[in-house]
Amino acid sequence: MTCGHCVQHVTTELQAIPGVTDVAIDLVVGGSSQVRVTSDAALPDEAVSAAVDEAGYALTPRRSLL
């Protein structure tokens, strides 16, 4: 993602998933942005991945900080 419009597009797609109550994205231009999704129930990984794909982006595995 490179701008606020990109962030809004991904946020909109993620908010469309049933049960999602909040989406927060830390934009890192030229790097990997971090997305946090809050929901009132467990979300299938496939639903989150499909929403991000629909927005034109792909998820990457989170790297451990340890």
Indicate the DSSP class of residue 47: H
More confident residue, 15 or 62: 15
pTM of the model: 0.86
Rg (CA), the chain: 12
Q: For position 65, what pLDDT does the model report?
A: 52
Full set of structural domains in the chain with CATH: 4-55 (3.30.70)
- CB neighbour class for 14 (10 Å; exposed up to 12, middle 13-18, buried from 19): buried
Residues 7-28: pLDDT tens digits?
Answer: 999 999 999 999 999 999 999 9
Tokens 């419009």: give the residue: 5
Residue 39 belongs to what H/E stretch?
A: strand 34-39
d(CA 48, CA 22): 13
Residues 38-61: pLDDT tens digits?
Answer: 999 999 989 999 999 999 999 887
Please check the confidence at residue 66 and state whether its pLDDT lies above 70: no
